Structure formats: C-alpha cells, structure tokens
Amino acid sequence: MDSIELMVNEHTYIKRMLEVVRKASLKVLFLDKIDYEDFARMIDFVRKYADVHHHGKEEKLLFNRMVSEIGGAAEKLVNNGMLVEHDMGRFFIQELEQALEKVKNGDNEAKLDVIANAISYENLLNRHIDKEDKVVYAFAKRALSKYTMDIIDKECEDFEKEMSDKGIQKKYILLLEELENKYL
C-alpha cells in the first residue's frame, strides 16, 4: 500500500465534505435555518474520519518520522505548520459545536458564530490539504528513506484493514454521499 497515495485520496473525501459544510453554512445565511442533525453529522465526519482516521495516520505514522529522520526543515514544517493547523481545525469544530448549542438555546446571534466557525474550518482545511498534497507529502517521499517509507506503508495498511473491519471508511463515505445529495 502506498500510504501517501492513500492520504491524498482521503483528502478528496474531506474536501467533498468541506463543500457540504460550505453549502450548509450558506443555507444558514440565506434561509436563517439550521439543520442541527446534519451539522452534528458533519462534525462527526470531521472528528472521526478527517481527524481521528486521517490526521491520526499523519500524526502517528508520518509526521513523527519526518521529524525524527529528517529534522530541521521537517521539524519546522510539521511542528509549526501541520500540527498547528490540525489543532486550529479542532478549535474551529469545537467552537462550531458550542455555537450550535447556543442557537438551540435561543441565542439567535450565535448563528454568526456557526457560519464563522464552519467557514473558517472549511477555508483552513482546504488550504491545509493543498499544502500537504503539494509540499509535505512530496517532501516526505523525497527525504525519508525507502526503509522508513516501507514501514509507514505497512503500518498504514494494517491500520486501514483494522478500520475497514470496523466499517469506518464505508460508514463515513456513505454519510458524505448522503449529505452531498442533500446540499450539493
């Protein structure tokens, strides 16, 4: 299994969900209506598929090896760039969830925070994915030893099999398609 190719492919699913998040935010803006269940499902996708499933592989299998084996530039790129952006994305999702709760409890002004945090997350992740696809992954493939890449590929394959056995990929791709059918 080519772990980098898999991560790039996962980005296509994440970017599709980002488009759903954008369109759902547009509905909040123009229709002044929030579908709380749909936003909860988007947040679930972000947390379980984009963050735990995808970012988990990056953080546990790839980034730490880039830092330890390459050092210098990789350490700055990973620690001051990619990991900071992962945390920023988690922050926007947490703030989105809190804003949704405020609107549910009657704070109509918090709809601004729903839109702001959803769009901030969408914007951040789109830019983040482009950097990973065009810079980070290419750097890793070029600078990591074949031996290290083989280990990452094997660990990634094992992780994917375990998640597949639990139905994770299938569950979230079906969820994505369902939301796309509604919002796109």
Structural domain of 17:
3-183
Note the pLDDT tens digit of each residue in 122-139.
Answer: 999 999 999 999 999 999
Backbone angles phi, psi at 101, to 5 degrees: -65, -40
Q: Can you give the pLDDT at residue 23?
A: 98
Pair of tokens at residue 135: 């810079």
Q: Tell me what percent of the chain is helix, strand and coil, each rounded to the nearest 5.
A: 90, 0, 10
* Number of helices and strands in the chain (H, E): 10, 0
Instruction: Spell out the residues 6+ positions from residue 123 whose beta carbon is closer than 8 angstroms to its own.
Output: none
pLDDT band at 164 (very low <50, low <70, confident <90, very high): very high
CA 122 to chain centre: 9
Give the global pTM. 0.97
Count of the separate structural domains present in the chain: 1
- The alpha-helical segments, DSSP class H, found in 32-145 are 36-44, 56-57, 64-70, 72-77, 83-104, 111-131, 137-143
> In this structure, what CATH number is given to the domain that contains residue 121?
1.20.120.520
